[in-house]
Structure 1
Amino acid sequence: MRAHYLQHAPFEGLGKIEDWLISRNYVVSATHLYRNEPLPDLHGIDLLIIMGGPMSVNDEQQLPWLVAEKAFIRKALTGDKQILGICLGAQLIASALGQNVYANGQQEIGWFPVQGNTHHNGAAFHFPEQVTVLHWHGETFDLPHGAVPLASSLGCQNQAFQFGRSVIGLQFHLEATRELVAGFVDADGQDLQPAEFVQSAQVIQNVDQQVLTGTTELLDTLLDYLTIREQKV
């Protein structure tokens, strides 16, 4: 099995996803778009992972590779691919499915709870009733037509969605590690202006280990679900 990931910034790597891929014996390849690396042939890719980044989905003029990336994602969505989008990655999936990406009512940066949607019919991934996760975003998206909303928060309505059986978008970062969080703070610390849903660098970096462990366990469960071809409901 082969997993390929799209990386948009040096400090937004796989994090805990890498551990899961190694444990499941995936062959892993990558496109570092910030280095203008070419996109691969989709043939032979089983799992596509679209990482986060500080740019906007709408920055096509400044970052022309976004045009090619969106076309690549649209093609992947029409194929038999398992796809996970994280933060910017989820916004790119929503955009590829024809939805708008725009400024959220407020920035959401730090460790805040999301509430799982318990009202869908069971044919989608089940988030816990409430779980604390890492957020770092100022934009949001409209829910793609036909997608199932999986989670929301006080700061942002569309936190996670599932499209079909094998596409999941997350507005937050289940892949977080202490090293990854430190990289976020170093690169984007200017975003940490006091606000209702913005925590200080100290609070973000001093997250309780139990919270980190919980997000990793949820990540593993979600990836196991996403990569099972036939799921009993």
Structure 2
Amino acid sequence: MSFQSVEINDETVLRLPGAASAAPAPEPLLPVLIVLHQETSTPGRVGNVLRALGHRLDVRRPRFGDPLPATLDDHAGAVIFGGPMSANDPDDYVRQEIDWIAVPLREQRPFLGICLGAQMLAKQLGGRVAPHPQGRAQIGYYPIRPTAAGLSLCPDWPDHVYHWHGEGFELPAGAELLAEGSDFPVEAIQAGHAFGFQFHPDVTYAMMHRWTTRGCERLGLPGARERHHHFADRAVHDVTERAWLKRFLQGWLARAPMSLMAQAAE
């Protein structure tokens, strides 16, 4: 019996006589729209997971003049990330992003807001964003408690997650509470296919180093954790948070309409 050799990805393999040809490569998936707020910002672990799932990232920075699309027909979903600014700031790009969230809400496309992005979602839905009444902040790891709705959506929530914020938001009318906290009661919400997290599942180890170095003055705010606690707590809680994020994003992307999946394969 003779064998044929073929080259696949620069490797020589043997093919048995009569064996079926290799399946064609899958068609590329639609990209995910990524909205960032600083020149050096990255999508961190969220971007890593999305790329691992086969999605390209369409990165936009409206603060620096990048336009936002009029429709999400060409995207699998959209994520607005955090930043040092406030959803209450009068800057044009802040208002533009809040108004733009009406697009994924209207089109019922997957949307995720993280920290500032979640506060923008709350504002779009008519909720209030404000500092803690006693001036407290959450900077470091803090406990969260998933609600029955949150457990129904995703059963394996982490019990501590990473935060970096001094403002919080109230539960908007029509939104569902997925997880709650203490100093800031609203930790995660859902409105249709739109989700908002007050915490930062996107933060990588390198990002934590940068934030706690460049933003070290914030570590002295009331309620903030000292720098060494950030890394000690990460060693305890990060594995659970990382695994939960991957499962969440897989389910989140599955909310894209089937028509979009067919369009990506054309």
TM-score relative to the length of structure 1: 0.88
Q: Which amino acid aligns with 1:171?
A: Q
The structure-2 alpha-carbon separation of the partners of 1:134 and 1:212, relative to structure 1 and needing over 3 Å to count, comes to: same
> Is 1:162 the counterpart of 2:190 in the alignment?
yes
> Is 1:93 the counterpart of 2:124 in the alignment?
no
State the distance in 1 between where 2:48 and 2:116 align: 21
Partner in structure 1 of residue 99 of structure 2: 71
State the distance in 1 between where 2:38 and 2:116 align: 11
- Cα deviation, residue 178, structure 1: 0.8
Q: Give yes or no for contact 1:94–1:142 (8 Å, CA) kept in 2.
A: yes
- Cα deviation, residue 183, structure 1: 2.0
Partner in structure 1 of residue 260 of structure 2: none
Partner in structure 2 of residue 177 of structure 1: 204
- Cα deviation, residue 37, structure 1: 2.1
Q: What are the residue-to-residue correspondences of 1:28-107 with 2, within 5 Å?
A: 28-42=57-71, 43-60=73-90, 63-105=91-133, 106-107=136-137
Report SS of the residue matched to 1:179: helix
Q: Give yes or no for contact 1:159–1:171 (8 Å, CA) kept in 2.
A: yes
Two-structure CA RMSD over aligned residues (Å): 2.0
Rg: which structure is higher? 2
State the distance in 1 between where 2:177 and 2:106 align: 20
State the distance in 2 between where 1:176 and 1:190 align: 19
Q: Give yes or no for contact 1:13–1:51 (8 Å, CA) kept in 2.
A: no
State the distance in 2 between where 1:155 and 1:19 align: 30
Residue in structure 1 matching 2:243, options 210, 217, 229: 217
Q: Give yes or no for contact 1:85–1:170 (8 Å, CA) kept in 2.
A: yes
State the distance in 2 between where 1:33 and 1:179 align: 25
The structure-2 alpha-carbon separation of the partners of 1:127 and 1:99, relative to structure 1 and needing over 3 Å to count, comes to: farther
- Cα deviation, residue 2, structure 1: 1.8
Partner in structure 2 of residue 203 of structure 1: 229
The structure-2 alpha-carbon separation of the partners of 1:12 and 1:160, relative to structure 1 and needing over 3 Å to count, comes to: farther
Percent identical: 25
- Cα deviation, residue 85, structure 1: 0.7
Q: What whole-Å deviation, never above 9, does each CA across 1:28-59 have from its counterpart, x for those lacking one?
A: 10112332322234231221001011110011
Q: What whole-Å deviation, never above 9, does each CA across 1:43-101 have from its counterpart, x for those lacking one?
A: 312210010111100112xx221121112112221113100110001000010111111
- Cα deviation, residue 187, structure 1: 3.0
Partner in structure 2 of residue 152 of structure 1: 180
State the distance in 1 between where 2:181 and 2:151 align: 21
State the distance in 2 between where 1:173 and 1:19 align: 14
**Unmatched runs of 5 consecutive residues or more in structure 2:** 1-29, 257-266
- Cα deviation, residue 127, structure 1: 5.5
Q: Which amino acid aligns with 2:53?
A: R
- Cα deviation, residue 122, structure 1: 6.9
State the distance in 1 between where 2:206 and 2:35 align: 19
TM-score relative to the length of structure 2: 0.78
The structure-2 alpha-carbon separation of the partners of 1:213 and 1:48, relative to structure 1 and needing over 3 Å to count, comes to: same
Report SS of the residue matched to 1:85: strand
